[in-house]
Structures are given as structure tokens and as C-alpha cells.
Amino acid sequence: MSVRGPSSATPILDLSEPLPKPERDGVGPRTMGAILVIIAAGAAFWNAPLLALILGYFVVSLAVAIVHEFGHWMAGAGNRVNPAGLPAGANASAGILE
């Protein structure tokens, strides 16, 4: 009997193997949201400059993310990539290289 190796160097990316189960380590989005609400409420009652600092951080982070994603859009537009024509989903790679 011979042992068969994977049919591809990237079997998970090629979806020839099932995806691994996600691990539940760390803090989830609900817990993080609750923590942020508690911090914001506490800062609003006891220390308004701290609230301004926390909210300012999130506003600046959002602005940085928007500028970053705009850079992706400009790079795609410069290479004449139509974002509406990009495939998505389980069969996304089917037909791209054909």
C-alpha cells in the first residue's frame, strides 16, 4: 500500500480538506463591547477627558482604516480591477486561472 500525500501544497485553501474548527481563545466581540460600554459610562460620570481620549482613539482608528482601504481601492483601480466582478464564496477560484 502506498501512502497518498495531499493533492495540493495548500489543501485548505483549495478547499480539498475541511476547514479546522475555530478556537475560542481570548475575548469575544460581545465581551469587548460590554467592557467598552462600561469604560465609556465610567469615564462619562467621573472623567470626561478620559472619555474623549477613548472615543478619539476609536475615531482615529476608523479614519486610519478608511484611508488604508481607500489605498486598496486605488491600487485595484490603477490595475483596472472591477471590484464588482471579483468572485467570492466557496467556488471563488473556479475559472480565475482558466
Termini Cα distance of the chain: 35
In contact, 33 and 27? CB cutoff 8 Å:
no
Q: Is the pLDDT of residue 1 over 50?
A: no
82-90: average pLDDT: 64
Task: Give the other-Cβ count within 10 Å of 66's Cβ.
Answer: 10
pTM of the model: 0.45
Residue 42: the pLDDT is 77
CA 41, CA 21: separation in Å to the nearest integer? 36
Least Cα distance to 38 among 51, 53, 28, 49 occurs for: 51
Residue 60: the pLDDT is 95
pLDDT per position as a tens digit, 22-74: 777 777 888 888 988 887 787 777 777 777 787 889 899 999 999 999 998 88
Phi, psi (deg, nearest 5) at residue 31: -65, -40
Q: Which residue has the higher pLDDT, 11 or 32?
A: 32
Distance set, CA 72 to CA 26, 64, 79 (Å): 29, 13, 11
